[in-house]
Amino acid sequence: MRNAILIVLVCLGASACASIDRYALRTTAAMIERGRKAALEEPDYQLGRDAMASQLKLIEILLVSEPENLALRRLAAEGFGGYAFLFVEDAEPKRAKDLYLRGRDHALAALSLKTAFRGLKDKSIEDIEKSLKWATKTDVPDLFWAAFGWAGMVNLSKDDASALADLPKVTLLMKRVYELDPGFHFGGADLYFGVYYASRPAMLGGDNAKAKIHFDWATKITQGQYLMTHVLNARWYAVATQDRELFQKLLTKVLEATGGSLPEARLTDESAKVKASLYMEKIDDYF
């Protein structure tokens, strides 16, 4: 009898500890999620970069204990994709590819919490199209960051045929985002298609007129206040059309602008300024 009571007490204690651990984990996860806005509104480029890096590792540590936590998956997907784009790809493209893939895989893990989206990466084009019919507006963050990370990797792998072969799948995901919520992430789907059409030769589907339409829509969505739109417009559309004057005009606008006009865009605006300065220095390489 005495041993039985002891066993019960041990089990109750273990259960209580497990409950406390889960509570602590979820409290920490919720705190990180609430802090996302402050991180994105950081005005200091270097501080924002350092803070994001340390936060990403913490998120992955938490995911080890709770891999089906949707909020954490979304933070990781956005974080790794954003970190690669904002801070890494221009100086360290090889490292950026790995970071983009980590972001993509976190987004795909979030999507896989729904049966229709399991194994999405390895499905055929036809099966992906069927799966995406089940997508709703609540799936947009996961679809967007999966496509964003995947596209980032492909864009840095133009000599890799297997990576380029994935582009139609990426485009299907972003097309569904465009259908469900075209304004998501500052018109992110329009920016994707603007880069897509401007960066490809005509024989492979490139179309500068379509690129311009998408960049114009992205600009309209944010009333021109999202500085990264102008950077991407300059880097891809202006270069594709060899419009040096437009290139200079767009990047000068970014460099002279005051960042942070939009909520949750200050850190991205500061990165846009860094990119604008870099691209301006390389103008003779583009024209």
Question: Residue 8: pLDDT band by 50, 70, 90 thresholds?
Answer: very low
Q: Give a yes or no: residue 133 inside a domain.
A: yes
pLDDT tens per residue across span 50-91? 999 999 999 999 999 999 999 999 999 999 999 999 999 999
Measured CA to CA, the distance from residue 82 to residue 87 in angstroms comes to 8
Give the domain extent around 124: 16-159
Domain count of the fold of the chain: 1
Question: Residue 24: pLDDT band by 50, 70, 90 thresholds?
Answer: low
What's the pLDDT score for residue 33? 76
What's the pLDDT score for residue 19? 58
Q: Which two tokens stand for residue 107?
A: 């987004």
Q: Give a yes or no: residue 168 inside a domain.
A: no
Q: Give a yes or no: residue 69 inside a domain.
A: yes
What's the pLDDT score for residue 5? 55
Alpha carbon distances (Å) from 27 to 22, 30, 31, 71, 72 = 8, 5, 6, 12, 12
What's the pLDDT score for residue 285? 98
Burial class (CB in 10 A: 0-12, 13-18, 19+), 199: middle
Q: Give a yes or no: residue 166 inside a domain.
A: no
What's the pLDDT score for residue 238? 99
User: How large is the average pLDDT for residues 159-180?
Assistant: 97
| CA angle (263 as vertex; 259, 226 as ends), nearest 5 | 50
Q: Give a yes or no: residue 171 inside a domain.
A: no
Q: Give a yes or no: residue 285 inside a domain.
A: no
Q: Which two tokens stand for residue 21?
A: 């651990």
Q: Is the whole-model pTM more than 0.75?
A: yes
Burial class (CB in 10 A: 0-12, 13-18, 19+), 137: exposed
Q: Give a yes or no: residue 83 inside a domain.
A: yes
User: How large is the average pLDDT for residues 25-42?
Assistant: 82
Measured CA to CA, the distance from residue 241 to residue 286 in angstroms comes to 11
Does residue 57 contact residue 63 with C-beta atoms inside 8 Å? no
Percent of the chain with pLDDT over 90: 86
Give the list of residues 6+ apart from residue 72 with CB closer than 8 angstroms, or none.
29, 32, 59, 62, 63, 66
Measured CA to CA, the distance from residue 101 to residue 111 in angstroms comes to 15
Q: Which two tokens stand for residue 133?
A: 């019919």
Measured CA to CA, the distance from residue 146 to residue 102 in angstroms comes to 10
Burial class (CB in 10 A: 0-12, 13-18, 19+), 222: middle
Look up the CATH number of the domain holding residue 55: 1.25.40.920
User: How large is the average pLDDT for residues 175-197?
Assistant: 99
Measured CA to CA, the distance from residue 125 to residue 275 in angstroms comes to 34
The mean pLDDT value of the chain amounts to: 93
Q: Give a yes or no: residue 22 inside a domain.
A: yes
Q: Where are the alpha helices (DSSP H) in 66-166?
A: 70-83, 93-111, 125-132, 140-155, 161-164
The SS3 assignment for 31 reads helix
